[in-house]
Amino acid sequence: MRKVMFNSIPFINAGAHVGLDMMTGKVFVFSSSLFRPVRISSSRPSTLLELTLLPVEKVLRGEARSESAHLAYLARSDGLASLVHLVEVINLKEGRWFEAYIDAHSGELLSVTNFVSRASYYAIPISKASIAAGQEMIVDPEDYEASPLGWHNDGNANITVTSGNNVLSFKWLDPGYAYSNGNLSNSADPSSLTFSMHYNTTLPSDNPTNLEAARTNAFYIMNVMHDVFYRYGFTEDAFNFQVTNLRGSGKTRAADPVRVSVQAEGAGPNRDGAIANDILVHEVTHGLTQRMTGGGTSRCLQTLEAEGLGEGWSDIMAEWVQLTGGDMRDYAFATYVAGNDKGLRTYPYSTSISTNPRRYSDVAIMNEPHDIGEVWGNILHNILAVLIDKYGWSSAAMTDPQDLKEILCICICSSMPYHYNHVTPLARDAFIQADAIRYNGVNKCLLWRVFARHGLGVNAADYVDDPTIPDDC
């Protein structure tokens, strides 16, 4: 691709693309946006950029990023070539990111390119566990505070497949083959970014239409969780998953989106995990806990008990996103994939000890992370129940963390940096510390009572239960 220049200033919308066969020397493709200008304005601006920004910011409802500004020529439909100040105008809170072209002589706003990609998905809403609850058309679900360019722009270009700055959703082929654009879902309508495939549970999961629907659902869920986690502290500074750090600071690794491989393994006929939201949320929460607990190193959850904590965190996050009210019922994880009402765990998570008798001492005879996760997950389920009983449930939980209303998710995320290496179920201390730092310890006794009820009292150690709570409780 060659750009057109005039007096060493490039045209932003005029150029030519030539494809050359290196074997024969023949041109096999040629395209261009070249034009013959009627008049070219002076390459010396007569209006200072600073004097034009205020009205442009007002029109575009954003803040100009003056450090991005430079001169360019804009080819116009009337044959004029106008010298322009090219500058980015951003409003991250409202999801606005424009490239503005301001006439460098008159100060007039001539044209605007909108970088933000808005899209719609026929998918399973995040509050539903699986395809058994049905798909819906979900319009513009992006949280632009967390994803300022939407979900289909990686900071370099708009994308019309299941790929973007946060997530890459692709078809699994084999262990030696990662992904390519050919294994990504193509939008049914690229002009509007509408992904509209319906999943048919009477057909095999690898049916082409079902594959498209599954990739779309996985892309939607993983992006929702990126945005939710961002609100709760899993940002660039905490090593979150993104291709590009759009805010220009932090510790995000380069080219580091969540990569979700659809149909990597089967769970039985027509039981694709990509259409089971609880499974998807569970798995992406492992990314949150590995990154935040290890400070980006992913090395603090390697022991058996620490892996169990990760399983418990993931189960309860899957439950948390499905809450639609303050009625805390027993929760069975992954019933769709399991093909039964019991799900994949030994007991449902419950506030009733007779329904779920799991407690700290059970860990002594456990040698599998998911089993240990049941102990930690049930404790967190009970914490969630008492917090909702005290503070109520918030319908804005996914996009607007509110003090005290969403203490479970806040304390889960906030406590992770306080864990030491090879954390154990005594991660109880980090959870209580997070409450002390974030809320001045107003929930200290409430939390201790839940822990103590399940054997993790003050003197619990070496898998011996203890019901003791602090003296000041």
pLDDT tens digits for range 82-92:
898 988 888 76
Which one-letter DSSP state was computed for residue 425? G
CA distance 422 to 428: 14
* pLDDT on residue 465: 96
Please say whether the beta carbons of 103 and 84 come within 8 A: yes
Q: Indicate the helix (H) or strand (E) that contains 213.
A: helix 208-231
Confirm whether residue 286 is marked as ligand binding. yes
406 annotated as a binding-site residue: no
* Sign of the four-CA dihedral 326, 329, 319, 272: negative
The amino acid at residue 249 is S
Closest CA to 306 of 207, 470, 425, 218: 425
- The region that residue 253 occupies, defined by phi over 0 for left and psi between -120 and 50 for alpha, beta otherwise, is beta
Look at residue 217 in the predicted model and tell me its pLDDT. 96
Tokens of 154: 């990686």
Q: Contact at 8 Å (CB) between 227 and 143?
A: yes
Identify whether 406 is a catalytic site residue.
no
Q: Please report which helix (H) or strand (E) contains residue 391, including its range.
A: helix 369-391
Q: Is the pLDDT of residue 422 over 60?
A: no
Comparing 409 with 211, the larger pLDDT belongs to 211
Residue type, 220: Y
What's residue 397's pLDDT? 85
- Confirm or deny that 454 is annotated as ligand binding: no
Q: What is the mean pLDDT of residues 124-137?
A: 95
In the chain, count H helices and then E strands.
Answer: 9, 13
pLDDT at 53 exceeding the cut of 90: no
pLDDT at 32: 42
Sorted by where each starts, the structural domains of the chain and their CATH numbers stand as: 2-37 (no CATH), 49-114 (3.10.450), 276-473 (1.10.390.10)
- Catalytic one of 212, 283, 374, 406: 283
The token pair at 95 is 């999801």
Provide CB contacts within 8 A for 156, sequence distance 6+: 243, 244
d(Cα 473, Cα 466) in Å, to the nearest integer?
A: 15
- Tally Cβ neighbours within 10 Å of residue 270: 19
Query: What would the two tokens of residue 229 be?
Result: 């986690």
Rounded distance, CA 94 to CA 272, Å? Answer: 35
Give the confidence band of 28 by pLDDT, cuts at 50, 70, 90. very low
- The whole-angstrom distance between residue 362's C-alpha and the CA centroid of its chain comes to 34
Which region holds residue 169: left if phi is over 0, alpha if psi is between -120 and 50, else beta?
beta
Q: Is the pLDDT of residue 463 over 60?
A: yes
Contact between 170 and 184 (Cβ < 8 Å): yes
Under 8 Å between Cβ of 434 and 415: yes
